Amino acid sequence: MWTDMTAEWMREIEPYNLHKMTLRKKKACLLVVDMQNEFLASSGMDFFHNAEEIVPNVKRVITACRRAGVPVVYTGHRHEDPAVDGGMTAEWWPEIKSGRCLIKGKKGAEIFGPLAPGKDERVIWKQRYSAFYNTDLEAALRGMGVTDLIIAGILTNVCCETTARDAFMRDFRVFFVADATASSEPDLHLAALKNLAYAFAYVLTVDSLLKQM
């Protein structure tokens, strides 16, 4: 199983994961990235098991944050008209360009039911990999006084990593949860974790994060 590899991944990144940080709980926010039906429901266009396997860990993090009073913000990737708002994302992914995947109003673009946002929790809808690109995410985080951003979700090496890098460049302290993120392949996940630990984020496990709550 995907999460069974966590201990090995953490050993692999240890030489790079030198910037350990303590979570400022009162200034923290959890960002749940792109946990949508398209990837998590068996009927989804891009369903993959690695994403499904991290659902319990993502749920643990969400539950712990809610109990600790740490705000939870979701992101979702969707397009209204890929010919207009798709850009290189649509050029890169034929299923988006054709309008078969991640389209506003279609069930596949909705947040996966078991991880659904609470009634007062915000969803940031985006059209590129980074949750900061052409959205009001940064303004929302600044308005809440957030300095520490916890990242969970999918894909590790695409939207999660791009968002983490952008957060670092905006001077947020990034906590990247290794076993509450997933990619399509273990090698891609590990490479992203190494890159992030080296220069952008403190990579930690769910258990380590929850000890700081």
Write out the DSSP string of 11-25. Answer: HHHTTT--------G
Q: What is the pLDDT of residue 48?
A: 76
Q: What is the pLDDT of residue 36?
A: 94
Q: What is the pLDDT of residue 44?
A: 57
Residue at 12 is within a domain? no
Residue at 180 is within a domain? yes
**At CA 34, angle to CA 13 and CA 176, rounded to 5?**
25
Residue at 13 is within a domain? no
Question: What is this structure's pTM?
Answer: 0.96
The phi and psi torsions of 24 (rounded to 5 degrees) equal -90, 90
Residue at 8 is within a domain? no
Q: What is the pLDDT of residue 184?
A: 92
Residue-wise pLDDT tens digits, 176-208:
999 999 999 999 999 999 999 999 999 999 999
Is the separation of the CB atoms in 148 and 212 below 8 Å?
no
Report the alpha-carbon distance of residue 114 to residue 97 in Å, rounded: 28
CATH of the domain at 81: 3.40.50.850
Question: Which of 28, 38, 111 minimizes the C-alpha distance to 76?
Answer: 111
pLDDT < 70: residue spans in the chain: 42-45, 47
Q: What is the pLDDT of residue 51?
A: 87
Name the residues annotated as catalytic: 34, 126, 159
Structure token pair of residue 94: 């034929």
Q: What is the pLDDT of residue 163?
A: 98
Report the alpha-carbon distance of residue 152 to residue 155 in Å, rounded: 9
Is the separation of the CB atoms in 145 and 172 below 8 Å?
no
Domain count along the chain: 1
Q: Domain range holding 56?
A: 23-211
